[in-house]
Each structure stands twice: as structure tokens, then as C-alpha cells.
Amino acid sequence: MLLCRPDPATIRVDRAKEGEMGGLIPIGGGADAEIKGRLNAAFNGTNIVIVRNIAATENLFDGNHHLHRVAYRLGAYPIATYTGDNAQGKWFYFLKIILRGATYNGVSTTQSIKSILSYALRTSGVKRIAFDAIQGAAANVDHYIYSPTIAGNPVADGDIASLVDTTGTLSVALICPSSLPDQASPIPNQQNDIDVDANGNIIEKPPIKIFTPTNLAPPVLSKKTRAPRKGTKVKKQTTKKKTTKKKITKRK
């Protein structure tokens, strides 16, 4: 079951506990938290600059690119083992099948997501993107993106701009009507599941793998402080002062 929250909130993957994850993929065991953590990491203050540079030569969110394939390239998918559940397969099925067919307020949910991410990458005032999933009140609607200015699924720049707070964080909250079916899609790393144009030409440019899931893993926390462990300090080398011996020349 989905967990209802009053407003969008980002939950870091390293702080998540089973039962408070929401139902982006209702499989329990923290898979939802893992997915959201990797999405947030892919578009954090550091990595969004990398994605921007790549988007400058390849429009990752145009009509020929698909969300499930872009998520694979960004490393934004679960890799942990969840007993009895194919978390990775369910996530790709969600992106490839569920979201592709979802509409709300007369707008494709996939198009809304692409418009939001495109806006974020071309707008310097957006410093990071935070993702979340929230239970909707109605169970008979498709998944859609929350908007404070319209009914949902914003695509216009003005409506998307309202998702950005004063710190430059753009919040993307997916409203989820119900649990997802227990269906899975394979990881899109096959030759026949790549993005091409209308003529069948491959449009993906290197690097094909922008990040890997391990690149987007949260920091290891200290058991005592629950803060990221500090790196090993490099000992400063002590340099000995060189003494130069003066040659004494005897006068003849």
C-alpha cells in the first residue's frame, strides 16, 4: 500500500526504513527508497552539471528518447536484492509501460516529466532536482506530476518554475493512484532497446552510461555519529632543512 504524505518530501536512501517509502514500486524492503535516492543523486548539485553538459550535445528528453532508457544510462535503478521481488524489472516496467500510457489533465505524464527535466537542465537557477512519490486521493486516475498552479502534469515553463524553491531545488512529486501490477521488463541494455530517430538511426552519444548505480550510492555512515565517514587524513610529510657546506678556500 502507498503511504500518504501531506506534501512532497525527499527521503534519502540511507535514512529510509521499510514502511515509509511510499509506493512508487510497492515491493517493500526499501526498493522505493533506493530508486528515489539514486534519482536524487543523479540530479544533485554536482551531478546535474554533468548531465547538463551531456544534454548540450544530446537532447536526452526529446520525443525520441525514452525514460526507461535514460534511467538506465543515468544509473537510476535499483541493484539491491529484495527477496521474492524483481525490483529492477518492476522499475523498468513502470517507466516503459505504466508511465508511457499515463495521462492526466489532458497531458501525457511522460511528456510532463520530460518537460520538467528539460527545463531544469536549461535553467541555471535550478541547482538540483528532488524526487518523491505520494499517494493520490483517487484510485481511478493515472500517475501524474503534482503542480501548485494547475491540476497536474505541468509542461509550460511558467508552471514548472513554480516547482522551484528559493534554494534552487526543483521538486518533482509523482502522484500514485494505486499499487503497481507485479510485472517486469528487462534491463534496457540490449542492442534492440536503444533510442533511435524516426529513421532508425541511433541518437545516443557517448557516454552511453553517464553514471552507474554505484556512482550514485549514498555515503557510508559512521555507526556512532550517523554522519558520513571522513576520509583518511594524509599525513603531512616533514621536510628536513638541507644544510649546505661552504667550501673554504685557502689563500695562497
Instruction: Indicate the pTM of the whole model.
Output: 0.78
pLDDT, tens digit, 9 for 90 and up, residues 68-92? 999 999 999 999 988 878 889 999 9
Can you list the residues of the chain whose pLDDT is less than 50? 1-23, 27-29, 232-248, 252
Using an 8 Å Cβ cutoff, are 219 and 228 in contact?
A: yes
Report domain extents, the chain: 31-176
pLDDT, tens digit, 9 for 90 and up, residues 107-132? 999 999 999 999 999 999 999 999 99
**Single-letter amino acid code for the residue at 120:** A
